[in-house]
Every structure is written in C-alpha cells, then in structure tokens.
Amino acid sequence: MSKPRIGISTKVAVHAGPHFVGYRRIYTNDDYVQAVLAGGGIPVVLPLIGDPAVITDMVGNIDGLVLMGGNDVDPALYGEEPQTKLGGISIEQDTFDTALYHAAAAGKKPVLGICRGAQLINVLNGGTLYQDMSYAKFSSIKHNQEDHPRQPIHAITIEKGSRLYDIYGATTRVNSFHHQCIKDVAANFTITARSKDGVPESIEHTGDTFILGIQWHPEMMSQTNTAAQKIFTAFIAATAQRME
C-alpha cells in the first residue's frame, strides 16, 4: 500500500528588500516536512490560495492534514473584539486554514494542528482563546522561550487515556513559543495536557477521527527527541489505518 500523503499548510512571507520589496513567497518550515518524512508520510506542501473549490480539491488529494504554527487567529472568529495585546492577524491566512480544516474534517481525515493550528481547531469547533497569556491570570510560567527551538523549556502533565498519553506517558518536557492559549475548549474536544500553571497544552477530538492540537512545537524537537517524533509517527499511522 502507498504511504499516506500528508498535506502541510503554508503561510506568506513578504520580502523586505533591499530588492524585490513586497514580493510574496509561500512557505512552510522544513521541520514539518522532515517530521512527516521521518513518520512515514509523503509530505505535500499546500500553497495558500483563496479559491475554496480548489482548496477542497487539494484536500481531496491528501490523506491527512498538518496545520502549521503562525500568527494569531482573528478574535472575530470567536466573537470577540481585539484586545490591546493581540498579535498580528491575517484574514487571508484564517480563510485558507479554515477551508483546509473543514474539508479535512468533512472527509474524516486526520488533522494535526500545531500551536496556531491547535488554537484554530479549537475556535472552528466553538472554543475560545485568551488573546494574550497575560489575560489568563493563572498563567505564571514562561511560555515563549524566544529561541533554541529544539530545547524543551517547561513540563506538561498528560491525561491518562488520551492519545498523547499513549505517546509520552504521564509527563514530558516541551518547547514553548506561544503568547496565546485556549480558554474555553470546544465541544467534542477535551484538554489532554497542561503545563504546571494550568495552561492547556493539547486538545483531542473525543470521537473516532484523529484530530489532535498541540500547543508546543514537536516538529522542532523531532530530530533530537524521540517522543516528539512519535506524535507525527502516530498521526501518520492513524492516517494509514483510516486508508485501509
């Protein structure tokens, strides 16, 4: 049987110069490609486009979807006005990622959301976010380590019985590059890991379809951390199982 084709979302980089000022490029991070390859999948990089019919066709040609990290989700998608510490948003990006997610979910295709991807999955299913961690009064540890992407910085505690528990066991240490976090978890999802200050670090769909949202960046750790790679391997194995 052929290997699962794993779609990986992309974002726009606008060139600053000195030449080609304002020139647009569409990209994903190599770590996602490498983690999918190492996990036994065929990486398929999905260019950010606007046509919803073509996006649906693109998802028709993949077996599973990775939603990459990136900018903040537009708070209008969860019914809020922007607060002062909201980061940059892109309606173009939200529209693309939303169409990818809905097409994958409609086809019951496994989805792995990383950082922004996890937050977006929560929002698209009716959940909400803290627009900045400072609004989550209970948050007391450093969740943006700023650099050294392969290094873990904080611990997480994982719920027994979750997909993540099967991968890591009860606890592990993860990297952290987020200034927002999940507030209300979406219906049909459950929080399956938290940092020591109680911040949600993963969500999982409670149904049969593999939909996992991870607040940290396992793709950045995957080349030096066996358990981080196992997230991708488990996701791709679930995708292969669904194809049978």
3-state secondary structure of 52: helix
Here the tokens at position 14 are 């606008």
Nearer to Mn ion, 58 or 231 (CB): 231
Nearer to Mn ion, 100 or 158 (CB): 158
Size of the site for Mn ion (CB under 5 A): 2
* Residue 238 Cβ vs Mn ion, minimum distance, rounded to whole Å: 24
Q: Cα separation of 66 and 35, whole Å?
A: 11
Q: Closest by alpha carbon to 91, among 106, 76, 113, 79?
A: 76
* Residue 224 Cβ vs Mn ion, minimum distance, rounded to whole Å: 18
Q: Cα separation of 200 and 143, whole Å?
A: 11
Nearer to Mn ion, 56 or 139 (CB): 139
Nearer to Mn ion, 109 or 194 (CB): 194
The answer to whether residue 15 is catalytic is no
Residue from 28, 29, 131, 176 touching Mn ion (CB under 5 A): that is: 176
Region from 36-44, 48-56, 172-180, 182-190 binding Mn ion, contact rule CB under 5 A: 172-180
| Contact between residue 158 and residue 177 where contact means Cβ atoms under 8 Å apart | no
Here the tokens at position 159 are 């719920």
Which of 19, 102, 217, 244 is flagged as catalytic? 217
Q: What is the dihedral of CA 113, 117, 123, 129, to 10 degrees?
A: 120
Site for Mn ion in 127-156 (CB under 5 A): 143
Region from 50-58, 94-102, 121-129, 169-177 binding Mn ion, contact rule CB under 5 A: 169-177
* Residue 201 Cβ vs Mn ion, minimum distance, rounded to whole Å: 6
* Residue 204 Cβ vs Mn ion, minimum distance, rounded to whole Å: 17
Q: What is the DSSP letter of 94?
A: H
The answer to whether residue 148 is catalytic is no
Q: What is the largest CA-CA distance in the chain?
A: 53
Site for Mn ion in 65-124 (CB under 5 A): none
Run of H or E residues at 168: helix 163-168
* Residue 153 Cβ vs Mn ion, minimum distance, rounded to whole Å: 8
Q: Cα separation of 38 and 29, whole Å?
A: 15
Which of 19, 148, 219, 244 is flagged as catalytic? 219
Nearer to Mn ion, 179 or 242 (CB): 179
The answer to whether residue 219 is catalytic is yes
Which of 115, 143, 154, 201 is flagged as catalytic? 115
Q: What is the DSSP letter of 27?
A: E
Run of H or E residues at 53: helix 52-60
Task: Report the interface residues with Mn ion, using CB under 5 A.
Answer: 143, 176
Give the catalytic positions in this structure.
Answer: 115, 217, 219
